Structure 1
Amino acid sequence: MTAGFLKRLAGAGEVSAVGSAVREIVLSGGAGYEGFLKPVTDAVAIIEAKDTRLYYTRLQPEERAVVAGIVRAITGSEELGMGVRG
């Protein structure tokens, strides 16, 4: 249910709403949700910072593809660089 909710928000392209929802879910659900939602948190941070270098400085290689997919879903673009400097 939580994942579906976040997917709908991401599909709407509302970066701030996704970030706020993740923060509230973590606060209400405890530490167990923090790890589960880390890829979403990382994607929101990259979009808000408009800095693709964070893929390489913040993420492990195996995390990058997952986070990149979330960034693409939120921004509605297949290009990671769209509106993001790198």
Structure 2
Amino acid sequence: MCQSCGCATATATAADAGSGAEERRVYSVEGMTCGHCVASVTEEVGGVPGVTGVEVDLESGRVSVSGAGFEDAAIGTAVREAGYRLAPA
């Protein structure tokens, strides 16, 4: 069982929210422990204006974001809306 969100998923794979990226940035996210966590982060970050792709690596806690014109602050807000936090740089 996931200790973050309480769902019964234990593992997950990378998720993709789009393609055609002009820029790629990688963020470290704390607190993700299952597939539901991955789906929540993918959905919220994928909704940020300018984002065309999201890949979440549960094992490393890294989120790769592709697109053009998106703001780091907007990614941080989306991660918080999903219930997680960006790791300090």
Higher strand share: 2
Normalization by structure 2: what TM-score?
A: 0.29
Normalization by structure 1: what TM-score?
A: 0.29
